[in-house]
Amino acid sequence: MASGDLLLAFFAATLAYAVVPGPGTAYVATQAVLRDRSAALLGALGLHVGGYAAVIASAAGLSLLFEVVPVLYDVLKIVGAAYLVWLGLRTIVGSRTRRDDDVEARPGKYPATFAQGVLVEILNPTTIFFYVAFLPQFIDPAGAVPVWAQFAILGVIVNVIFSVGDVTAVLIASMARQRASRSGAWQIAARWLGGSALIGLGLRLAD
């Protein structure tokens, strides 16, 4: 493994990246505002699981495949962007057949948020490129631990730290929701803000 100084730099850089909001953070924060904490935490768990898929794909050399066949990267990026835009539009439109109070009365009925969290993470190809560009800086090719194992260990650590950031965003958004007005105007504004954030991130990813 890398030296102690290099590992300290790794943790510092990872923490710095963790506080920068991305599509996943926006998604779970929106769920915390529009649904409740349980729904958002399930979404964060989905992001966490999707993060492991990105780590495995990076370690397996999927980024090299993207370089050899660039159209695969473009397709995945467009699909991921379209999915974020779809989630944003769905958030704005909302469900006209289910009241928010009914949603809160059944906090355990959120299977979709977990699956959506997984999709948000794995349909973002920049996540794979991030791991490929970031982790090798802290890997010692001459170390006793195989390179692939070092990559996997550091990738898991990054994913855990990023998940802590997502959970923190959920808690902050939940507190903001509890302090805000529960009026119809608040619900409409929250839907528009959350949905617009997801749409904006989707359009940015599509660039």
Cβ–Cβ under 8 Å, residues 161 and 14: yes
Phi-psi region of 97 (alpha: psi -120 to 50; beta: other; left: phi over 0): alpha
Distance CA 92, CA 55 (A): 32
Positions of the chain with pLDDT under 70: 1-3, 62-67, 73, 94-111, 179-190, 194, 198, 201, 205-207
Take residue 156 and report the two structure tokens written for it: 């898991």
pLDDT tens for residues 117-128?
A: 998 888 877 787
User: What is the pLDDT at residue 133?
Assistant: 75
Of 196, 45, 11, give the one whose Cα is nearest residue 116: 45
pTM of the model: 0.72
How far does Cα 87 stand from its chain's mean position? 13
**Greatest extent of the chain over all pairs of C-alpha atoms, in Å:** 61
Cβ–Cβ under 8 Å, residues 167 and 98: no
pLDDT tens for residues 37-82?
A: 888 999 999 999 999 988 888 777 765 666 677 777 677 778 777 8
Distance CA 58, CA 55 (A): 5
Phi-psi region of 183 (alpha: psi -120 to 50; beta: other; left: phi over 0): beta
Of 32, 6, 35, 57, give the one whose Cα is nearest residue 159: 57
